Copies of this chain bind each other. A is one copy, B any other.
């Protein structure tokens, strides 16, 4: 166990069990509740570090649940699960204080990335801040500081630049799927976000061109490959 405890509220039992098993396998202590009421009753007793709430649930929906939880603990990170194209849900979700949300269907890997990202943002620096750093050819990239260094020159990346470069690094020398990247970073993989991503790819390529052995290759119709 890594001492992280997750409250999971999901009424679809198949998905719920799948998620619980997966998160448990990933060393997150996970408590599953099949509706909002049960989750809310359990919340004060367990000392949870993170909540994953389905929005559409009978009895008490995820948004209402989030508001109640926030009254008890204003700082706890909350990730919403929602079906696609429920824009209103998403807006309501953010109003009720979501830190993040993820649209169904999603891959386990995607959810895991979100959890890690959110824990990185919210847990205190002293605790488990493992500063990941990648070396990309002659560059070195610190994901936490969001700094990209080449020899003595260092530039600060923006959040999106850094997140995209991190995903590329994680999938180093293999394909990073467009949709995966879009859903993990932009949440929604619509046309405009896809074009936005193109702009960021261009920018990253510009940053990385000092070392000619480093390349971000496009795989037509699928995604990108960072090679070094």
Q: A145-B215, A159-B219, A219-B159 are in contact. Are A174 and B113 (CB under 8 A)?
A: yes
A91 interface residue per 8 A CB criterion: yes
Question: In whole angstroms, what is the CA distance A129 to B219 when docked?
Answer: 16
* Residues A220 and B158 in contact, CB atoms below 8 Å apart: yes
Give which listed residue, B107, B144, B171, contacts A227 with CB less than 8 A.
B144
Residues of B within 8 A of A18 (CB): 94-95
* Residues B91 and A129 in contact, CB atoms below 8 Å apart: no
A172 interface residue per 8 A CB criterion: yes
A72 interface residue per 8 A CB criterion: no
* Residues A220 and B159 in contact, CB atoms below 8 Å apart: yes
Q: In A158-180, which residues have CB < 8 Å from any B CB? A: 158-160, 170-175, 177
Residues of B within 8 A of A109 (CB): 117, 121
Copies in the assembly, this chain = 2
Residues of B within 8 A of A146 (CB): 217
A3 interface residue per 8 A CB criterion: no
Question: In whole angstroms, what is the CA distance A218 to B185 when docked?
Answer: 16
A133 interface residue per 8 A CB criterion: no
* Residues B129 and A14 in contact, CB atoms below 8 Å apart: no
A37 interface residue per 8 A CB criterion: no
Interface string of A208-228 (1 = CB under 8 A from B): 000000010111101000010
A85 to chain B, nearest CB (A): 14
A126 interface residue per 8 A CB criterion: yes
A17 interface residue per 8 A CB criterion: yes
Chosen A-B contacts, 20 in total, with CB atoms closer than 8 Å, are A14-B94, A14-B95, A17-B94, A17-B95, A18-B95, A21-B97, A109-B117, A116-B174, A120-B171, A126-B170, A128-B173, A129-B173, A144-B227, A145-B215, A145-B217, A145-B227, A158-B220, A159-B220, A159-B222, A160-B220
